[in-house]
């Protein structure tokens, strides 16, 4: 892995970073932290969580445990997040006592509830799918097809339901009764895009090459970098991201997911106030990884170069397909034989269907990158034929 400035530690304003969350996103910050001379302390429930072994210290507690975050604050100069399932009101008490959060709690505030996030986007005049708050009442909220989402704590498609007919409507209504929900128009998108961007405290912005993401059952399967889009779409997506991050006064890396319709219109699907799965390609394929970039922004170092270091890249997620305790070493060794492949393994102790266990990034040469869509399908098939067969 390359780092843009090896002796950066001397200029970092903050050298001890507390991270709320200890999953793979925090773990992947580990290498970058070491190279920048920054110490990570994580708050995460379990000693076997991926980031615990790479961090200098850990506070073993739930993500929304405020006493634990107070302890994290005592051991860090600044606190950041790899997980947004936090208790914002509790954190505000700590902020009033002088704890520094980056991104700030006011940046997180409009993003944590999907309905509130949609209202925020609308308020900024940014394009989103049509949406309504919904209380699970008997009446159809809008005509089929539509999408129902839980307003908080949804991830990897858990909590997102595409509703095509009366039967699925009734079953989802029964399942979600009593929860605060968001209903939105189903968007018959042509493609899904994602933008990983960083903003620093002084307003400097760095935007990575825009990627195409492909989901299966609402979970990201693969990412193609760069997305094959027109210059107009690229400029519009970047303008949306600039408006958004400036308005939020964001500090750190944010992931913004977009729908691209067949008539080249962009709609914002979701904003994640943290590093993002669609940015994992940056570790091997860019001059500065999203994890290094996030630490740079949070610790007030100059932002790094976002350029690709190869003609392109394809990232394929390795999702659990069984309940097991295995390190799948043999499969990982086979995956590493794929030309141009970098295998990342999160070291989770337990595998469950759908759980993100690792990912593979394959760098593309110029010839493969010219037909990235076709190359991506072939690469995904190669990776998955190794990963998903017993
Ligand atoms: P999560 O927060 O769990 O990732 P998302 O809201 O991003 O959930 O939805 C997951 C996936 O579901 C999206 O990437 C997309 O493929 C599909 N999806 C979500 N909302 C819509 C929509 N309004 N129209 C069509 N597909 C959607």
Instruction: Give the domain extent around 178.
Output: 130-185
Q: What pTM did the predictor assign?
A: 0.96
In a domain, 199, yes or no: yes
Q: How many CB atoms lie within 10 A of CB 274?
A: 24
In a domain, 1, yes or no: no
Tell me, what's the pLDDT at 7?
A: 45
Do 178 and 199 lie in a common domain?
A: no
Rounded to the nearest whole angstrom, what is the distance from the C-alpha of residue 74 to the centroid of ligand 1? 38
Residue where one domain finishes, among candidates 168, 185, 202: 185
Do 96 and 244 lie in a common domain?
A: no
In a domain, 308, yes or no: yes
- The answer to whether residues 50 and 58 touch, using CB atoms and an 8 Å cutoff, is no
In a domain, 337, yes or no: yes
CATH for 265 = 3.30.470.20
In a domain, 231, yes or no: yes
Do 181 and 199 lie in a common domain?
A: no
Mean pLDDT by 10-residue block, N- to C-terminus, for the chain (390 residues)?
Answer: 47 93 98 96 97 98 98 98 97 98 98 98 98 88 94 90 94 91 97 98 98 96 97 98 98 98 97 98 98 98 98 98 96 98 97 97 94 93 94
- Whole-angstrom distance, CA of residue 213 vs CA of residue 192: 5
Do 164 and 195 lie in a common domain?
A: no
Do 163 and 250 lie in a common domain?
A: no
Looking at the structure of the chain, the number of domains it has is: 3
Rounded to the nearest whole angstrom, what is the distance from the C-alpha of residue 64 to the centroid of ligand 1? 25
In a domain, 124, yes or no: no
Query: Is the CB–ligand 1 distance for residue 129 below 6 Å?
Result: yes
CATH for 155 = 3.30.1490.20
Tell me, what's the pLDDT at 156?
A: 85
Query: Is the CB–ligand 1 distance for residue 215 below 6 Å?
Result: yes
Tell me, what's the pLDDT at 262?
A: 96
CATH for 61 = 3.40.50.20
Per-position b or e across 28-64, b if 16+ CB within 10 A of its CB:
bbbbbbebbebbbbbbbeeeebbbbebbeebbebebb
Residue where one domain finishes, among candidates 148, 164, 185: 185
Tell me, what's the pLDDT at 6?
A: 45
Do 103 and 134 lie in a common domain?
A: no
Do 162 and 93 lie in a common domain?
A: no
Mutating to test ligand 1, I would choose from 184, 185, 269 the residue with most ligand atoms within 8 A of its C-beta, which is 269
- Whole-angstrom distance, CA of residue 20 vs CA of residue 85: 9
Query: Is the CB–ligand 1 distance for residue 3 below 6 Å?
Result: no
What counts of helices (H) and strands (E) characterise the chain? 13, 17
Do 174 and 198 lie in a common domain?
A: no
- Whole-angstrom distance, CA of residue 115 vs CA of residue 183: 9
Strands 146-150 and 160-163: antiparallel
Do 240 and 267 lie in a common domain?
A: yes
Do 21 and 74 lie in a common domain?
A: yes
Do 264 and 334 lie in a common domain?
A: yes
In a domain, 36, yes or no: yes
Query: Is the CB–ligand 1 distance for residue 184 below 6 Å?
Result: yes
Do 97 and 200 lie in a common domain?
A: no
Ligand 1 atom with the shortest distance to the CA of 257? 7
In a domain, 39, yes or no: yes
Rounded to the nearest whole angstrom, what is the distance from the C-alpha of residue 48 to the centroid of ligand 1? 30
């Amino acid at each position: 892995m390359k780092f843009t400035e090896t002796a950066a530690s001397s200029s970092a304003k903050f050298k001890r970073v507390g991270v709320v969350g200890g999953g793979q996103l925090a773990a992947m910050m580990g290498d970058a932290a070491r190279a920048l001379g920054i110490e990570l302390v994580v708050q995460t429930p379990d000693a076997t969580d991926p980031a615990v072994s790479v961090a200098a210290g850990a506070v073993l507690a739930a993500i929304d445990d405020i006493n634990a975050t107070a302890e994290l604050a005592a051991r860090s100069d600044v606190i950041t997040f790899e997980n947004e399932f936090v208790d914002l009101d509790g954190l505000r008490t700590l902020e009033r006592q002088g704890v520094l959060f980056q991104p700030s709690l006011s940046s997180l505030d409009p993003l944590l509830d999907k309905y509130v996030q949609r209202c925020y986007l609308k308020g900024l005049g940014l394009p989103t799918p049509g949406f309504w708050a919904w209380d699970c009442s008997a009446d159809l909220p809008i005509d089929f097809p539509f999408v129902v989402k839980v307003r908080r704590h949804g991830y990897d498609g858990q909590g997102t339901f595409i509703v095509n007919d009366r039967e699925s409507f009734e079953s989802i209504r029964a399942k979600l009764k009593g929860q605060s929900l968001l209903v939105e128009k189903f968007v018959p998108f042509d493609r899904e895009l994602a933008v990983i961007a960083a903003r620093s405290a002084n307003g400097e912005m760095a935007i990575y090459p825009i990627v195409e993401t492909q989901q299966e059952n609402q979970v990201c399967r693969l990412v193609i970098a760069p997305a094959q889009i027109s210059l107009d779409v690229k400029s519009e997506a970047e303008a949306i991201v600039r408006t958004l991050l400036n308005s939020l006064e964001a500090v750190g890396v944010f992931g913004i997911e977009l729908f691209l319709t067949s008539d080249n219109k962009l709609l914002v699907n979701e904003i994640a106030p943290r590093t993002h799965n669609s940015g994992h390609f940056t570790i091997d394929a860019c001059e500065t990884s999203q994890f290094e970039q996030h630490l740079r922004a949070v610790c007030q170092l100059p932002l790094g170069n976002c350029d690709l270091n190869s003609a392109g890249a394809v990232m394929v997620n390795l999702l659990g397909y069984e309940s097991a305790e295995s390190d799948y070493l043999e499969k990982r060794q086979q995956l590493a034989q794929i030309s141009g492949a970098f295998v990342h393994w999160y070291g989770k102790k337990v595998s469950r269907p759908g759980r993100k266990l690792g990912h593979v990034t394959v760098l593309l040469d110029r010839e493969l990158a010219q037909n990235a869509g076709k190359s991506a399908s072939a690469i995904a098939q190669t990776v998955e034929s190794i990963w998903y067969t017993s």
